[in-house]
Amino acid sequence: MSDRLAALAELVTPGLRGGAAYHVPQFPNVVAKLDANESPYPLPPALMSGLAAELAKVPLERYPAADGGPLRALLAAELGVPPAQVVLGNGSDELIALLIAAFGAPRPGSGHPAILYPVPTFVVYRIASVAHGAIPLEVPLHGDFTFDLAAVEAAIARQRPNIAFFALPNNPTGTLWPPEEIAALAARHPDIIVVSDEAYIAYGGRTLLGRMAELPNLVVMRTLSKIGMAGLRVGYLAAHPQLVTELEKVRPPYNLGSLNLRAATWLLEHARAWMTESAAAVVRERPRLMAGLRALPGVRVFDSEANLVMVRIGAPMDGRASGVWRALADRGVLVRNFDRPGPLAGCLRITVGTPAENDRLLEALAAVL
């Protein structure tokens, strides 16, 4: 049996062999869930009942609308582009994979396509790259997680990537890299697809949507996940129609379920005020949380324009941060542990929660430290 399994192990895509699956630790008795960059605000009961009545009408015996139906038109209108310039994904995670799948031809003289992104950043850029046999071209940020344009240009000169992903603002660091530098990069390199991943746009940053008309290689990607609908798995992107034509060839025809499509459409039509106010409440809380964190001994707080705050506890390799993370989890306060050798050694990522959750976090952290 083991020989037979060994034979199968040899079939695993090379870049995946040494790695592990994306792991989300689960804990009982959670009092503050600040580990996944979600909105902390549940849908109010009146909206929940309206949504439930709407979902009861969905014909589950039928496949969903293959073209995204009214949701695609609604999101296109929101972005100010025609529906033919929009692709829907099962979360923007799927869109990242579709981009790499569609634009994966190796450059002449190279065996594999390269995918560029600054690091540390969103881990799915790497996962999707290796899953598709692409070479991850990882370009270190500066030590304070700001953008290193010279390093990006040097990497491009070394190995021309097919696609470059830039999270504006970035996860997990929260930093906002200058959007105009990213647009200028797209202008200088018209043969590279430049993706402005605007997952956290509700919390800060400046969109590059307005530059798309002059830059056909610029793709703007968004998601409903960070504004109260993470459970729906709806991501979307705007791109030049020619890019959309290629992306549509690799998109699974029914990638969004009927319930998700209908729920997202209904919520965008009926719950705008709730979304706007929930995001505004988080933005209002962010400086208070950051000030509270900065007041704690031995905590370095990095700038953030997203609904998350990256902190470094103690010195990079002193091992304190992991201990603090565990002690917080034991108190029911969940944050994300990034404390491992590398640029995020000593770092924990804290999602901005409700005022009460942020208080819980600050109290627990003060007690633990």
- Provide the binding-site residues for ligand PLP, judged by CB under 6 A: 37, 91-93, 122, 167, 171, 197, 199, 223, 225, 230, 235
**Reduced 3-state DSSP string for 200-255:** CHHHCCCCCHHHCCCCCCEEEEEECHHHCCHHHCEEEEECCHHHHHHHHHHCCCCC
304 or 362, CB closer to ligand PLP? 304
Shortest Cβ 224–ligand PLP spacing (Å): 7
351 or 364, CB closer to ligand PLP? 351
64 or 174, CB closer to ligand PLP? 174
3-state secondary structure of 128: helix
For 237, the token pair is 């992107």
122 or 203, CB closer to ligand PLP? 122
CA pair distance 277, 350, nearest whole angstrom: 21
List all residues 6 or more positions away from 261 whose beta carbon is below 8 Å from its beta carbon: 64, 65, 68, 69, 71, 234
Shortest Cβ 306–ligand PLP spacing (Å): 8
192 or 229, CB closer to ligand PLP? 229
Please check whether residue 129 is in contact with residue 173, taking contact to mean a CB–CB distance below 8 angstroms.
Answer: no
Closest residue to ligand PLP, Cβ-based? 91
List all residues 6 or more positions away from 90 whose beta carbon is below 8 Å from its beta carbon: 233, 234, 235, 255, 256
Shortest Cβ 178–ligand PLP spacing (Å): 17
Shortest Cβ 248–ligand PLP spacing (Å): 19
Name the β-bridge partners of 299: 313
162 or 171, CB closer to ligand PLP? 171
CA pair distance 324, 287, nearest whole angstrom: 22
Shortest Cβ 316–ligand PLP spacing (Å): 23
Shortest Cβ 221–ligand PLP spacing (Å): 7
Please check whether residue 149 is in contact with residue 188, taking contact to mean a CB–CB distance below 8 angstroms.
Answer: no
